[in-house]
């Protein structure tokens, strides 16, 4: 537990990223010697609200799953909430996507399976809905592990940070944008949208035109990607025009959902899986258990070693063959 921790207990090693109102640093906890990812969240709230947020976040101590990022503890210092988590050395999938250009279907099959199992765990064991599924909240490491982070365990924190979730809204399901109650089916929409983004190499709304699809996948006739085909160097027609946030949200609510282009490089099983995630009406959307039985998931046979090998090659990391690459958070209490 880090309830009585102070910032002076940590040595900062570098910045890992920023988002959702907070900056994440790689730190070393000097008393234990453990490396951690520490997220700093600055909130202008009353002390009573801060205490409530801290109390709600402690539920994370009870979350123990291979598909959920490990939690070391939370403490308050200088008006900032410090959330200390397991460091996933390959980072988030949005960073992997930037490096890779596109993420292969086989890799996304293993990612999908892990996300589904993580969402099932949160729902079954803790009655938690993630509320913010997107590539930047799916973390990976050099051991080939895939874990969810930044899920909605604290309602008070979500309310206090509402204005910082502009990026999150672009992954929200239509029913959420219209003010309906959040359910796990909304997380499934977000998963589907994230999968298309990672598969084609760009945010998929509005739907790509045939000309744009050709610009992306026509490089070698098989959808393979040379350096000159990577998104940063693609023809301007390869991506959708920038949209203002109000245009984007209106499009999500009123237009047809995006789809993976069929007949290019993606299997029908993958295309069907994504379409089951992105049904406009949540009543028509597949639930977690239906998705887990889909051919795309059943046929996903990439091993953890193969996934780790791809991640390490992509992110220029050395494959970690140890059995204890990351310290188990409970060890801090021993």
Distance CA 143, CA 186 (A): 30
Separation of alpha carbons 167 and 164, rounded Å: 8
Q: Which of 89, 132, 150, 187 is catalytic?
A: 132
Binding residues for ATP: 39
Reply yes or no on whether 89 is catalytic: no
Helices 93-100/304-315 angle, 10° precision: 60
Q: How far is CA 190 from CA 32, 82, 112, 168, 245, in A?
A: 37, 27, 12, 9, 17
How many whole angstroms separate alpha carbon 231 and alpha carbon 236? Answer: 10
Bond from prior residue into 332 cis (ω within 30 degrees of 0): no
CA distance 182 to 225: 38
Interatomic CA distance for residues 54 and 3, integer angstroms: 9
With both helix axes pointing from N to C terminus, report the angle between 184-200 and 268-277 in degrees, rounded to the nearest 10: 140
- Cα dihedral 179, 180, 183, 189 sign: negative
Query: Where is the binding site, in residues?
Result: 39
CB 204 within 8 A of CB 260: no
- Distance CA(14)–CA(67), nearest Å, equals 25
Query: How many Cβ atoms sit within 10 Å of the Cβ of residue 55?
Result: 12
Catalytic residues: 132
């Amino acid at each position: 537990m880090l309830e009585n921790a102070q910032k002076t207990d940590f040595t900062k090693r570098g910045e890992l990223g920023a988002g959702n109102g907070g900056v994440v640093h790689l730190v070393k906890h000097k008393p234990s010697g453990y490396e951690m990812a520490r997220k700093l969240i600055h909130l202008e709230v009353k002390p009573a609200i801060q205490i409530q947020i801290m109390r709600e976040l402690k539920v994370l101590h009870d979350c123990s799953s291979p598909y959920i990022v490990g939690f070391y503890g939370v403490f308050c210092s200088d008006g900032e909430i410090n959330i200390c988590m397991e460091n996933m050395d390959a980072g988030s999938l949005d960073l992997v996507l930037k490096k890779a250009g596109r993420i292969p279907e086989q890799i996304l099959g293993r990612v999908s399976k892990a996300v589904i199992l993580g969402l099932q765990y949160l729902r079954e064991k803790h009655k938690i809905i993630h509320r913010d599924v997107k590539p930047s909240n799916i973390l990976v490491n050099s051991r080939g592990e895939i874990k969810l982070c930044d899920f909605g365990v604290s309602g008070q924190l979500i309310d206090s940070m509402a204005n910082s979730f502009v990026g999150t809204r672009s992954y929200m399901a239509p029913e959420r944008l219209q003010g309906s109650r959040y359910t796990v089916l909304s997380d499934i929409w977000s998963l589907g949208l994230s999968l298309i983004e990672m598969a084609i190499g760009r945010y998929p709304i509005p739907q790509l035109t045939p000309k744009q699809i050709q610009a992306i996948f026509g490089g070698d006739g098989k959808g393979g990607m040379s350096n000159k085909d990577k998104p940063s160097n693609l023809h301007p027609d390869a991506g959708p025009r920038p949209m203002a946030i109000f245009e984007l949200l209106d499009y999500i609510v009123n237009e047809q959902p995006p789809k993976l282009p069929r007949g290019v490089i993606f299997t029908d099983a993958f295309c069907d899986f994504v379409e089951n995630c992105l049904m406009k009406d949540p009543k028509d959307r597949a639930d977690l258990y239906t998705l887990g039985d889909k051919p795309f998931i059943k046929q996903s046979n990439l091993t953890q070693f193969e996934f780790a090998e791809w991640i390490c090659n992509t992110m220029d990391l050395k494959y970690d063959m140890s059995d204890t690459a990351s310290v188990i958070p409970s060890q801090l209490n021993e």
